[in-house]
């Protein structure tokens, strides 16, 4: 394991990345002088250390400006589908074109190391809390709650790594996944070999099942994982594993149903308010900003939100993300998600610049909260899980709940077969979740379907499901520093 660059996150470093629980503010103290003893000397110390993990997720920066926090990782995968298009000469063009350079999957790429480093930093900080929690002079209930939240974060991180660095779970459960680290690393820690996908997912399930059984719905704010969010992550994991073991679809459904309890689908007015605040009733999990924390142009909103009010001119931003005409055509005029406009002032020769979306709008202070999970996704997991089990009518019912909320003229599905209904649900997932979580990319990977570009895309790729580009290489720094890995352990180009 690359201890010094990736995983050497001591308890003092946890304190360095910690912050108040009211907002994910700048790390305190700035010099990192908090001792290991002080971190676990009080509930506040551990609480701040936990908050520091979310700070990493929101703010960890890679080697380039468009590599800032987990939202840029997710947007990276959205740009690899067919529905979104980048400018051909600005940020995101390499992601859109699947270019094997510093913005892609090769071992030396900055984007690649951003994903690996961020996830393993989350894992190592979570491991430190789990390992040292008994130093905390609090009740078992308090300590168990911290452990459950830390394990939920660890399970989340291993799930992301498994999905990126190997083909989907269902393709080969014995394929090499990623190294499993369950204790905080030190300067003398020996790196681990790549565990099988089966073992990685077993660890993910162990962590998340513990979290869902131990956590409650109570939390200090929406940026923290509680029982509902842990159930939502677990539903996503069983959704992935259900492709290999059909018996697990029932667990995906049960966890999705439980996760969304208490969260109402947003109104039309809320949908069009900009996807920028955790106060939205549908948001289950989001990473917050306050007015002093603007990332300005480097923010997710600096790339995704293009227009001034009343949507007649571009904002002074990068303005480099567009929408494919084939995707726009999926939305009826009465669908509140039809947030697409003709891009103002664009040359007719650049046909790929035809449409922009105003789904995402930042605040006047150039800040906006980052959505991490919504109730709508849980409805869609439930519908897919029912359909996969052959329960077509229940699947249509739950799908229609969401469709009717988004389009008053929606018509309940008339799909006559399981496959037809599943395909309809996958389209609905794209319509509902685009630019939020790489939904099109990961659904193609999960169903082992290739990417076939069409429409007004400037990069008309055709990437079969068996293409090695669907699995990212292990970062070169990890290959160099982890003595348990050899060149034979590297994913091929």
300: left (phi over 0), alpha (psi -120 to 50) or beta: alpha
Residue 350 in tokens:
């650049």
- With tokens 């209930």, the residue in question is 141
Residue 99 in tokens:
């270019």
Q: Which residues have CB under 8 Å from 12's CB, separation 6+?
A: 32, 33, 34, 35, 36, 39
Give Rg (Cα) of the chain.
22
pLDDT at 20: 40
pLDDT at 368: 82
DSSP secondary structure code for residue 191 in this structure: P
User: Are the C-beta atoms of 272 and 255 separated by less than 8 Å?
Assistant: no
Cα separation of 349 and 342, whole Å? 14
pLDDT at 188: 80
Please report, for the chain, how many H helices and E strands are present, in that order. Answer: 18, 10
- Least Cα distance to 25 among 293, 301, 219 occurs for 293
Please state the pTM of the whole predicted model: 0.92
User: Are the C-beta atoms of 259 and 231 separated by less than 8 Å?
Assistant: yes
Q: Which residues have CB under 8 Å from 162's CB, separation 6+?
A: 169, 177, 178, 197, 200, 201, 204
pLDDT at 101: 95
Helix axis angle, 439-446 to 70-78, nearest 10°: 60
Residue 287's DSSP bridge partners are 370
106: left (phi over 0), alpha (psi -120 to 50) or beta: beta
Q: Which residues have CB under 8 Å from 77's CB, separation 6+?
A: 437, 438, 441, 442
Residue 367's DSSP bridge partners are none
- With tokens 């947030």, the residue in question is 339
pLDDT at 307: 56
Cα separation of 424 and 325, whole Å? 19
Q: Between the CA of residue 469 and those of 153, 186, 260, 410, 435, what are the distances in Å?
A: 27, 33, 34, 38, 21
Residue 461 in tokens:
């790729």
pLDDT at 132: 95
User: Are the C-beta atoms of 255 and 230 separated by less than 8 Å?
Assistant: no
- With tokens 């629980």, the residue in question is 21
Cα separation of 463 and 82, whole Å? 11
> What string of pLDDT tens digits covers the 493 residues of the chain?
442 333 333 444 444 344 444 434 443 433 333 346 668 999 999 999 999 999 999 988 787 878 889 999 999 999 999 999 998 888 899 999 999 999 999 999 999 999 999 999 999 999 999 999 999 999 999 999 999 999 999 999 999 999 999 999 999 999 999 999 999 987 788 999 999 999 999 999 999 999 999 999 999 999 999 999 999 999 999 999 999 999 999 999 999 999 999 999 999 999 998 888 999 999 999 998 765 555 555 567 777 766 554 455 555 455 678 999 999 999 999 999 999 988 766 666 678 988 989 898 876 656 689 999 999 999 999 999 999 999 999 999 999 999 999 999 999 999 999 999 999 999 999 999 999 999 999 999 999 999 999 999 999 999 999 999 999 999 999 999 999 999 999 999 9
Q: Which residues have CB under 8 Å from 280's CB, separation 6+?
A: 266, 270, 273
pLDDT at 364: 60
Cα separation of 449 and 437, whole Å? 18
- Least Cα distance to 373 among 443, 284, 434 occurs for 284
Cα separation of 243 and 447, whole Å? 7
- Least Cα distance to 119 among 70, 185, 52 occurs for 70
- If you classify domain 3-258+443-489 with CATH, what class do you get? mainly alpha
Tell me how far apart the terminal alpha carbons of the chain are, to the nearest angstrom. Answer: 21
pLDDT at 1: 47
User: Are the C-beta atoms of 235 and 381 separated by less than 8 Å?
Assistant: yes
- Least Cα distance to 492 among 475, 473, 470 occurs for 473
Q: How does 315-329 read in b/e, with b if 16+ C-beta sit within 10 Å? A: bebbbbbbbbbebbe
Cα separation of 200 and 239, whole Å? 16
Instruction: Give the chain's largest Cα–Cα span.
Output: 68
Which stretches within 215-333 are classed as H helix?
A: 227-241, 249-260, 268-271, 300-304, 325-328
Residue 380 in tokens:
């869609």
């Amino acid at each position: 394991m690359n201890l010094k660059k990736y995983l050497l996150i001591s308890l003092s470093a946890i304190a360095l990345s910690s912050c108040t629980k009211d907002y994910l503010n700048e790390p305190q103290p700035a010099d990192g002088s908090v001792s290991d003893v002080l971190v676990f000397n009080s509930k506040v110390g551990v609480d701040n250390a936990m908050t520091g993990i979310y700070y990493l997720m929101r703010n960890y920066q890679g080697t380039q400006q468009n590599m800032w926090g987990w939202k840029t990782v997710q947007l990276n995968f959205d740009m690899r589908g067919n529905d979104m298009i980048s400018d051909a000469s600005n940020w995101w063009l390499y992601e859109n074109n699947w270019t094997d350079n510093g913005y892609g999957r090769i071992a030396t790429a900055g984007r690649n190391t951003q994903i690996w480093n961020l996830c393993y930093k989350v894992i190592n900080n979570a491991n430190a809390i789990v390992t040292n929690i008994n130093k905390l002079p609090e009740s078992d209930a308090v300590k168990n709650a911290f452990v459950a939240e830390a394990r939920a974060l660890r399970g989340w991180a291993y799930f992301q790594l498994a999905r990126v660095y190997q083909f989907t779970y269902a393709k080969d459960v014995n394929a090499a996944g990623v190294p499993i680290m369950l204790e905080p690393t030190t300067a003398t820690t020996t790196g681990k070999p790549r565990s099988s996908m089966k073992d990685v997912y077993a660890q993910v399930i162990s962590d998340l099942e513990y979290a869902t059984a131990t956590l409650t719905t109570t939390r200090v704010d929406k940026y923290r994982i509680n029982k509902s969010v842990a159930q939502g992550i677990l539903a996503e994991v069983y959704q992935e594993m259900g492709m290999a073991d059909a018996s697990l679809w029932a667990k995906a459904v049960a966890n999705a149903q439980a996760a969304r309890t208490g969260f109402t689908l947003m109104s039309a007015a809320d949908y069009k308010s900009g996807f920028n605040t955790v106060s939205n009733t549908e948001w289950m999990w989001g990473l917050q900003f306050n007015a002093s924390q603007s990332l300005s142009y480097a923010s997710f909103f600096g790339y995704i939100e293009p227009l001034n009010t009343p949507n007649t001119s571009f904002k002074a931003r990068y303005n480099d993300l567009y929408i494919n005409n084939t995707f726009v055509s999926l939305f009826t005029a009465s669908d509140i998600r039809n947030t697409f406009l003709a891009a103002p002032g664009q040359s007719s020769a650049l046909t790929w610049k035809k449409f922009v979306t105003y789904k995402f709008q930042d605040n006047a202070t150039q800040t906006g909260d980052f959505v991490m999970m919504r109730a709508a996704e849980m409805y869609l997991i439930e519908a897919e899980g029912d359909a996969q089990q052959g329960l077509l009518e229940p699947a249509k019912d739950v799908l229609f709940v969401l469709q009717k909320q988004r389009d008053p003229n929606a018509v309940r599905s008339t799909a006559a077969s399981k496959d037809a209904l599943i395909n309809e649900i996958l389209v609905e997932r794209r319509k509902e979740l685009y630019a939020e979580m790489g939904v099109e990319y990961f659904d193609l990977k999960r169903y082992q379907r290739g990417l076939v570009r069409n429409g007004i895309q400037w990069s008309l790729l055709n990437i079969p499901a068996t293409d090695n580009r669907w699995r990212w290489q292990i970062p070169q720094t990890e290959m160099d520093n982890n003595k348990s890995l050899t060149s034979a352990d590297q994913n091929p180009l």
